[in-house]
Structure 1
Amino acid sequence: MGDASVDVWVRDTALGAAPPEGGRDADRLDPLDPLDQHERDRWARLGDGPSARAYVKLHVLARSQIGRFLGRSPESLRFDRTCPDCGRQHGRPLLVDDPGLHLSLSRAGTVVALALTRSGPVGVDVEQVAGTQFEGFGQVALHARERGNGGAVGGGVATANATAWVRKEAALKALGVGLRVDPASFVTPREGVLAEVVPGLPWVSVVDVDAPTGCVAAVALASGSGPLEVRHH
Structure 2
Amino acid sequence: MTVATVDVWLRETPPASGAAGIGPETLDGLDPHERERWARLADPRDATAYLALHVLARREIGRLVGRPPESLRFDRTCPDCGRQHDVPRLLDDPGIHLSLSRTRSVVVLALSRSGPVGVDVDLVDATRFGGYEDVALHRDERGDDTRTFAEATTWVRKEAALKALGVGLRVDPTTFVTPTSGVPAAVVPGMSSVTVVDLDVPRPYAAAVALASPAGALRVRRH
Q: TM-score, normalised by structure 2?
A: 0.95
| Alignment check: 8 A CA contact 2:74 2:89 kept | yes
Q: Which residue of 2 aligns with 1:220?
A: 210
Between the aligned partners of 2:144 and 2:43, the Cα distance in structure 1 is: 41
1:154 corresponds to which residue?
none
2:38 paired residue number: 43
Shift of 1:149: 5.2
SS in 1 for 2:217: coil
- Give the partner amino acid of 2:60: Q
Residue type at the aligned position of 1:208: D
Taking the aligned partners of 1:228 and 1:49, their CA distance within structure 2 comes to: 36
Write out aligned runs for 1:86-97 (5 A).
86-97=81-92
Post-superposition Cα deviations, 1:106-148, rounded to whole Å, max 9, x if no partner, equal 1122211100000000000001011110011011100001001
RMSD: 1.5
| Residue number in structure 1 paired with 2:20 | 24
Q: Per the alignment, do residues 18 and 125 of structure 1 end up closer, same or farther by CA in structure 2, a change over 3 Å counting?
A: closer
Provide the residue aligned with 1:52 in structure 2. Answer: 47
Instruction: Name which of structure 1's ranges 178-187 and 42-51 shifts more when overlaid on structure 2.
Output: 42-51
Deviation at 1:31, TM superposition (A): 2.3
Amino acid at match of 1:127: D
Alignment CA distance shift 1:232-1:144 (3 Å): same
Q: Could you tell me how far 1:3 is from its partner in structure 2?
A: 5.4
Distance 1:223 1:170 in 2: 14
The correspondence of residues 194-205 of structure 1 with structure 2, limited to 5 A, is 194-205=184-195
Cα distance in 2 for partners of 1:83, 1:178 equals 11
Aligned to 1:7: 7
Query: Hey, what does 2:78 align to over in structure 1?
Result: 83
1:1-57 CA-partner distances (Å, limit 9, x unpaired): x9500000111204xx3528xx5344x213222100000000000024111000001
Percentage of identical aligned residues: 63
Scaled by the length of structure 1, what TM-score is found?
Answer: 0.91
Q: 2:111 aligns with which of 99, 109, 116?
A: 116
Q: Is contact 2:7-2:110 (8 Å) kept?
A: yes
Q: In the comparison of the two structures, how many residue pairs are matched?
A: 222
**Superposed counterparts of 1:69-80, under 5 Å:** 69-80=64-75
